[in-house]
Amino acid sequence: MCKFRLILYLFQIFRKKLFMNTKHHMTINCRGTLVDLSKPKIMGILNLTPDSFFDGGNHNSIDAALVQCEKMINEGADFIDVGAYSSKPGTEQVSEEEELKRLLPTFEKLKYEFPQALFSIDTFRSKVAALTIDRGAALINDISAGTFDSEMLTTVGKHQVPFVAMHMQGKPATMQQQPKYKNVVDEVVFFFSKKIKEAQAAGINDIILDPGFGFGKTKEHNFELLKQLETFQCFDAPVLTGVSRKSMIYKTLNIKAETALNGTTVLHTVALSKKAQILRVHDVKEAKECIDLLEALQ
Domains of the chain: 38-297 (3.20.20.20)
pLDDT beyond 50 at 18: no
Q: How many CB atoms are closer than 10 A to CB 10?
A: 10
Residues taking part in catalysis = 246, 280
Specify which residues 241 forms β-bridges with. 279
**Res 81: pLDDT:** 97
Which residues, in sequence order, are CB contacts of 216 under 8 Å at separation 6+?
Answer: 168, 169, 170, 175, 176, 179
For residues 269 and 229, is the Cβ–Cβ distance under 8 A? no
Query: What is the C-alpha R_g of the chain?
Result: 18
Q: What is the largest CA-CA distance in the chain?
A: 54
pTM score: 0.89
Backbone φ/ψ region at 82: left (φ over 0), alpha (ψ -120 to 50), beta: beta
Which residues, in sequence order, are CB contacts of 205 under 8 Å at separation 6+?
Answer: 29, 160, 162
Which residues, in sequence order, are CB contacts of 287 under 8 Å at separation 6+?
Answer: 42, 265, 268, 279, 281
Q: What is the pLDDT of residues 92-105, one digit of tens each?
A: 788 999 999 999 99
Q: Reduce the DSSP state of residue 54 to 3 states and report it.
A: coil
Query: Residue 28: phi, psi to the nearest 5?
Result: -125, 145
pLDDT band at 22 (very low <50, low <70, confident <90, very high): very low
Angle (deg, nearest 10), helices 219-227 and 261-273: 40
For residues 57 and 84, is the Cβ–Cβ distance under 8 A? no
**Res 50: pLDDT:** 78
Give the CB-side neighbour count of residue 175, counting CA atoms within 13 A.
23
Q: What is the dihedral of CA 222, 167, 85, 278, to 10 degrees?
A: 70
pLDDT beyond 50 at 21: no
Q: What is the pLDDT of residues 111-129, one digit of tens each?
A: 999 999 999 999 999 999 9
pLDDT beyond 90 at 2: no
Q: What is the pLDDT of residues 189-227, one digit of tens each?
A: 999 999 999 999 999 999 999 999 999 999 999 999 999
Name the more confident of 215 and 15.
Answer: 215
Q: Reduce the DSSP state of residue 10 to 3 states and report it.
A: helix
**Res 112: pLDDT:** 97
